[in-house]
Amino acid sequence: MTKPLNAIANARLQGRDGLFRLEISNGRFSGITAQAENTTVNEGELDAGENLVTAPFVEPHIHLDAAMTAGEPRWNKSGTLFEGIECWSERKTTLSHDDVISRASQTLKLFAAHGIQYVRTHVDVTDPNLTALKAMLEVREQTAAFIDLQIVAFPQEGIWSFKNGRELMEEAVRLGADVVGGIPHFEFTRDYGAESVRWLMELAHKNDRLVDVHCDEIDDPESRFLEVLAAEALRLDYGSRVSASHTCAMGSYNDAYCSRLFRLLKKSGLRFLSMPTESLHLQGRFDSYPKRRGITRVPELLDAGLKVAFGQDSIRDPWYPMGNGNMLRTLDVGLHACHMLGMSRIDRSLELITENGAAALDLDEYGLDEGMPARCVVLQGASPYEVLLGQRPVLASVRDGQVLVRREASHPETGLML
């Protein structure tokens, strides 16, 4: 363990001109002051090099129990969500405690190297033994020094449609799951789906848990469980603690329906999580041409004042064979796919992988403010635009004043023989 930092100097901050010095005391930011010019750093200080410093990246939606299992026991040849679930159901029969711990820990270390310090993972609890859940509860403790990990009790094969699904969800919460999940569009019937949403919301409310539902992850415009989730969140006054993940079907809803739906969404205050790389890969598989992108209405939700965050969803698993833990890659793809490359969107784009994700995770101590934990990342670039252009690794990741990651600046032109 390195000595804790006293300060970060020569930092640029989002939305503010000039350079800043971030003072650190006892693992928290004790002051943020403007600098007149670039200064030489002293021992115990980190030089940000006039690069942008932000709060740490947040990964709000990942499946760590399935990470690094692509091709096991077979590859998803169709590229569909449903074949992915079939492949996972086969792989799930061979899960062991140590297997899950090894792959999940490896993935979290990869995340930490990319500046991620907060993660929400969905863990499949449609397993009578709850093998993955019990392993992930251990991982949460083992990795606490470098990652804050939330665990979602996720009923991959349904709550109503899987034998003892409700009992398994209740047991997962009793064992220590932080968040209650769901998958209404995968239940056998529409009625099952709606009932599952009402039931899981009551379970979360009764046990003071957050909610994160895989909602309408399908191109079918008739899949409308989002309205059920939003109505329940409004009824229980729970909206800020409820995340709607995916909502891919919203990209296929007609505008008249959306105009009514958005009124409810704004009243409910739901958080939204979109996984652009995976949705582009999985959705539109039943279209010839034109092919749908399968991504929810991200800019429209943002313009309505709702919080939207991007996540990776998968790291080399049956649903998505790629993934490297780099949130900037996910952000770049999402901005392209959602037609969000106007400069005003780019200037605020880092919110999609920082503060909006923190809102979904309901974090109460997050951000670059005096008194907050001294957690931040130093990016390569002086602005969000430069950071996105370069797509280069974080220069440093700091957690409670300790340096977790430190690397030298990289320059694409290095080694060019001209």
Q: Are strands 7-11 and 19-25 parallel, antiparallel or unpaired?
A: antiparallel
Catalytic residue among 217, 227, 278, 355: 217
Ranges of H-type helices in 219-319: 225-235, 255-268, 276-282, 298-303
Output the furthest CA–CA distance in the chain (Å, rounded): 67
Q: Report the C-alpha gap between 271 and 210 in whole angstroms.
A: 11
Write out the two tokens for 42: 């002293």
Q: Determine contact, residues 60/243, Cβ cutoff 8 Å.
A: yes
Helix (H, G, I), strand (E, B) or coil at 378: strand
Local structure of residue 12 (DSSP, 8 states): B
Q: Is residue 217 flagged as an active site residue?
A: yes
Cα distance from N-terminal residue to C-terminal residue, the chain = 42
- Write b or e for each residue in 266-298: b if 16 or more Cβ atoms lie within 10 A of its Cβ, otherwise e: eebbbbbbbbbbbbbbbbbbeeeeeebbbbbbb
The sign of the CA dihedral 71, 73, 78, 80 is negative
Write out the two tokens for 176: 């220590």
Write the CB contacts of 393 (distance below 8 Å, at least 6 apart in sequence).
Answer: 113, 114, 326, 380, 407, 410
The closest alpha carbon to 169, from 241, 179, 208, 192, belongs to 179
* Residues labelled catalytic: 217
